[in-house]
Structure 1
């Protein structure tokens, strides 16, 4: 949602306001050590489950990574953090103070460190996808071809013609065909997304939407479908979404410091409300990179990961149509050294990004405050494509 309850947003516009940049590796207590020059060091251990190492020890050029702060300052971005992991080890992190619009907190200047939670915005959707996979693994849900209406017997009276054909897979791939538009101005009454925050029954609102196209024929960015998935998880688990997520995903990942915010109507914001520390968000990327494993534990099945990151639709209207979409995950590519490098990503409005680069055994995570800016999120692509990927010095 484009002001207080954001979604991925419309991508495009110029980045403004120079960011005061300082490299701030944190101490073991999570406190930034104070002003320093742009020389950077390997991440500190804060007992969060990450093994830390120097970039050079995992085949990356540490000096090149240390140019990230200068690059961000040169391009006048509003990036708050950059975290990089390779070969399962955390090898780089920097945090930058700046303006933010954190959910439920005052807008304004904020300090960011390794222990500061940040809004994930629509990167929350990718986490919901993981939770659906875990629910299927645990036989709470039979599979992605289950009809959506099966889970909502209490909403049969509001459903429109055509909903009988919509399955969980269609919600996951944003191909349900329901009439949905969240690309309009937030104040436009035709924008469906604000209804998720103020409707007394947002689930009923989504289920009452008419079906404009047969499922599997039209890709439309749609947070309403993710809200249905979140509610289904609550129904099959018998627990609030955040409680279920803590039990089956965050605790196994060693992520105790997490929030999942609610809309103004009190309903959990499945599509956009997650808040995590950047290092913890990078664990989500590492989990996908490791085909559902973290520190040797299989948290979600490898098959679900493979299904989730299989390209299924052209994401028309985003980055000029150069992106593909899977089960609430994006797929794209970067050009580095004359070679195309494919990646998988979670995208959140304002520049929240989790990039997974399987070919290089690499994860990069960024947080930012590029809300409503026409080139929102492009700073992350720039850093990934022009610094992080080129810094890899080996081919494995």
Structure 2
């Protein structure tokens, strides 16, 4: 008799073979302690924009998370906040950057709080709608700037903070700086000590910019099983193997709706949410089709990697895995 994993693995293999999930590099589906699927596929890949050629992906393959990195940084902020190492969300943001006091040019900037960076509602000019291939894209321009933090903080004010959601890797760069300053260690070192080691994550790569600073916005590389571990920890209210890794209260704060992106998708503190306000499905997404979906109410975790970088339709591949394969199988097993 076939196991549940055999059944869903076969369905996903067929979907890949017939072109229904283009660019998919791998998927893990967990329902509680049960692994419903774990599959890997060959495909063209990159390391932060540098072509790696056609790779045979597997459980030990490090892969770009791209902007899923942002959600991991959000978890790190909660860990540091519980230790009193970083300012609370209601603290004024510019006051945390005394080296850039010259940029505090009026009351408008003083109204921007740490929470506005965590929820991407700073109200500053920023545009990542263009491909990540040139300085017309604000994140690329930030990486090319002599000082990434000055570049972010000096951007013109577009509107009052908290008014609307403006996608910004720059906001997350500032959060990464607060983490590094508050913990007294580089972002990647704090991540290893307080998040990766407790989860048993040994192999990772955090890409640094030309200034030697790890990219908080998009630089993390993990294996797919280790990304699924992070999802499992989130599904378990911040616990993993009997240990509280991320404070449960921080997860609740992170998954509160702070901004409406559209009629269906909301944003909290560096995580997306869909579904009911009181029981949201939480999602982290990244360029190319990277996605981590967690439904805590049923302990469902779906982690996917893909290679459709800079393709505006890349999100469709990993979303199809969730909606057409993972969720129906989970519902069948749960009797719903």
2:209 is equivalent to residue 263 of structure 1: yes
- What are the ranges of 5 or more consecutive residues in structure 2 without an aligned counterpart? none
Q: How far apart are the structure 2 equivalents of 1:372 and 1:102?
A: 13
Per the alignment, residue 322 of structure 1 pairs with 264
Q: Distance in 2 between matches of 1:308 and 1:137?
A: 14
Between Structure 1 and Structure 2, how many residues are aligned?
Answer: 330
Cα distance in 2 for partners of 1:232, 1:209 equals 19
Which structure 1 residue ranges, 5 or more long, are not aligned?
1-38, 42-53, 57-61, 335-340
Cα distance 1:65–1:163, how it changes in 2: closer, same or farther (>3 A)?
Answer: same
Q: Which moved more, 1:361-370 or 1:96-105?
A: 96-105
1:377 Cα deviation from its structure 2 partner: 1.6
Q: Of residues 163, 169, 174 in structure 1, which corresponds to 2:109?
A: 163
Please tell me whether the aligned partners of residues 21 and 321 of structure 2 are also in contact (alpha carbons under 8 angstroms): no
**Greater helix share, structure number:** 2
TM alignment of 1:1-396, pairs within 5 A: 55=4, 62-74=6-18, 75=20, 77-103=22-48, 106-161=51-106, 162-186=108-132, 190-316=136-262, 322-333=264-275, 343-392=281-330, 393-395=333-335
Which secondary structure state, in structure 2, belongs to the residue aligned with residue 355 of structure 1?
A: strand
CA RMSD of aligned residues (A): 2.2
The 2-side partners of 1:255 and 1:87 are apart by: 19
Moved more, 208-217 or 100-109: 100-109
Change (3 A) 1:159 1:202: farther
TM-score relative to the length of structure 2: 0.92
**Retained in 2: the 8 A contact 1:172–1:226?**
yes
CA distance in 2, matches of 1:73, 1:312: 40
Provide the secondary structure at the position in 1 that maps to 2:164: coil
Task: Provide the TM-score with structure 1 as the length reference.
Answer: 0.78
Question: Following TM superposition, by how much is the alpha carbon of 1:307 offset from its aligned partner in structure 2, in angstroms?
Answer: 1.0
1:147–1:166 contact (8 Å) kept in structure 2: yes
